[in-house]
Structure 1
């Protein structure tokens, strides 16, 4: 048995970050170690800091690798935290508060990687105003019978609709079969308003391609279509950030791409080994994402129009309290009133 590698100390963004058990295997199928994960995040530093900067962030931790125990850390530990680590207080749908990690620089990302964080899930808000999102996140989610190619096609329709109202959209692979589309917005609306804007967007995309896209929350109504998951904009719902690893066998990465690239790539093109080289060569396709925040008023006007036409709110995720104006959380086939 080879001797256990000792801990090392690495300077990151002016802070000393300790890396313990660097040779512990995190991705058994590929042989990637904790050191590989740590060094991966350093290699895409500008990109992941752009994605996480000043955002409350939930850590998906795998202290013994992806085949071991997994848990979501929504509160910064109470012990062993360096004095320079920054936090932001958020509130869950229940109203309970939590102090989450709020990365100010790459050292925060490295420190989280030392804790066994593989996946970073950032809130769509900034520390200065945690109740008003500054980012639309459109989760283009293939359903059974559809695949990544269908998600790419649906994302193209999302882009077309957004461009029609003056919004610049930025795509990335999810690291799985889906596509994420991001739009920076003015932080002037709360989670309820921003979620309603995404519902209106999803319905408009569905109107243009009803054969391809669905906005139906209930799985039994979706069919073999791509779902626009509007509930990813509900409070405390997050998706893997740009440049985050995903906890799968191949160690894929949720990777920003250009729209031209999106039509040509496959999810497995981007992993722990390939993305650092790509990042060094082409940089971050999302580098200009903060340049022109979008005013979501046109989407809210669509939402108001839909309300007048009898298309109101949609069900919230099960862990949310019942919201004003929300329809029943009963799937249609089990809704006795609807059957009557």
Structure 2
């Protein structure tokens, strides 16, 4: 009789999660295993739960590790314990619904990793009203020929404009080549308004840093030496990696919160699943206070009206 695959049981608060194939290599470059990934998420537990709490969450799963294909999964994987919570979403372009993971505790994160999840991609709205975003996301996305020094310069301008608006931004590395800045907002506008406001903000950044920034809609028309302020990340059902999410890249890079005064020195390559736990133990969650700083986006919508009066249209939302 064939033996069962090895497993370990992980205690998370008052939950027990069985991790099958704990020694399966997920990151061939370093040899990091599924159990290593679990231990990483346990080490940053309060941070990842804060980033995901009550939000619909799409999962990027690697059933056989990075050496095999990635699965983008909206629906909760089958076999979830009854304590793993979900939220039902309607997807108009499919004409059907899906129950997505809705993290309320660290056990749900560990269970998702057991189900081969590496990356967590939450919505910018919460379960109470999924159609009213409470998070404005500023995505500084460098073109193929845009260096990281440009990202850093533009980040300072973003900080300057946010200060002028009276908004508090919480930056993090993207886990790739860019930076994200999150702003908590009052959940009293729909996705279209939040995206319009995000575009107006992006255009203001473009005005101030024209040599570095583009808001050009089509990728093929963008100057690859410039940084795209991707306002589309505020469209409905568009998600980006959460704070403290490991990315599915060979060096196991992490999308990591940083302080504004770290922007000039922080190298995204330094933040990995091997280094971030010690940083978290020392600094805690740098996004912990984000809920205390909700911003009213009406000034952004006034900028959007100004842009419209000047003949600048809002491109249709992407599929």
TM-score (normalizing by structure 2): 0.96
* Whole-angstrom distance in 2 between the partners of 1:221 and 1:72: 28
Change (3 A) 1:137 1:30: same
Give the drift of 1:219: 2.4
Does the CA-based 8 Å contact 1:4-1:21 persist in structure 2? no
* Whole-angstrom distance in 1 between the partners of 2:97 and 2:297: 28
Q: Which residue of 2 aligns with 1:328?
A: none
* Whole-angstrom distance in 2 between the partners of 1:277 and 1:229: 31
Give the drift of 1:80: 1.5
Shifted more, 282-291 versus 17-26: the winner is 282-291
1:211-230 correspondence runs (5 A): 211-223=211-223, 224-230=225-231
Q: Does 1:82 align with 2:111?
A: no
* Whole-angstrom distance in 2 between the partners of 1:93 and 1:248: 31
Q: Which residue of 1 aligns with 2:269?
A: 268
Q: Which residue of 2 aligns with 1:135?
A: 135
* Whole-angstrom distance in 2 between the partners of 1:253 and 1:183: 20
Does the CA-based 8 Å contact 1:49-1:103 persist in structure 2? yes
Q: Provide the secondary structure at the position in 2 that maps to 1:290.
A: helix
* Whole-angstrom distance in 2 between the partners of 1:236 and 1:204: 25
Shifted more, 139-148 versus 196-205: the winner is 139-148
Shifted more, 152-161 versus 229-238: the winner is 152-161
Q: Which residue of 1 aligns with 2:234?
A: 233
* Whole-angstrom distance in 2 between the partners of 1:157 and 1:221: 24
Does the CA-based 8 Å contact 1:93-1:235 persist in structure 2? no
Does the CA-based 8 Å contact 1:185-1:296 persist in structure 2? yes
The runs of at least 4 consecutive aligned structure 1 residues that moved more than 4 Å come to none
Q: Which residue of 1 aligns with 2:177?
A: 177
1:187-202 correspondence runs (5 A): 187-202=187-202
Q: Which residue of 2 aligns with 1:300?
A: 301
Q: Provide the secondary structure at the position in 1 that maps to 2:36.
A: helix
* Whole-angstrom distance in 1 between the partners of 2:263 and 2:170: 11
Give the drift of 1:96: 2.9
Q: Which residue of 2 aligns with 1:279?
A: 280
| Gapped regions of structure 1 (runs ≥ 5) | 320-340
* Whole-angstrom distance in 2 between the partners of 1:91 and 1:156: 38
Deviation readout 1:71-97 (Å, 9 max, x if unpaired): 1110113x4110101001122242532
Give the drift of 1:282: 1.1
Give the drift of 1:173: 0.3
| Gapped regions of structure 2 (runs ≥ 5) | none
Does the CA-based 8 Å contact 1:92-1:235 persist in structure 2? no
Q: Which residue of 2 aligns with 1:327?
A: none
Q: Which residue of 2 aligns with 1:331?
A: none
Does the CA-based 8 Å contact 1:5-1:23 persist in structure 2? no
Q: Provide the secondary structure at the position in 1 that maps to 2:257.
A: coil
Deviation readout 1:208-242 (Å, 9 max, x if unpaired): 11011111112243212100011111111100000
* Whole-angstrom distance in 2 between the partners of 1:124 and 1:287: 16
Does the CA-based 8 Å contact 1:75-1:99 persist in structure 2? yes
Give the drift of 1:166: 0.6
Deviation readout 1:240-281 (Å, 9 max, x if unpaired): 000000111100000000011121011111001100011001
* Whole-angstrom distance in 2 between the partners of 1:63 and 1:40: 18
TM-score (normalizing by structure 1): 0.90
RMSD: 1.3
1:1-340 correspondence runs (5 A): 6-77=6-77, 79-94=78-93, 95-223=95-223, 224-317=225-318, 319=319
Q: Which residue of 2 aligns with 1:337?
A: none
Give the drift of 1:70: 1.2
Does the CA-based 8 Å contact 1:217-1:315 persist in structure 2? no
Change (3 A) 1:309 1:93: farther
Shifted more, 41-50 versus 89-98: the winner is 89-98
Give the drift of 1:4: 8.7
Give the drift of 1:5: 6.7
**Number of aligned pairs?**
315
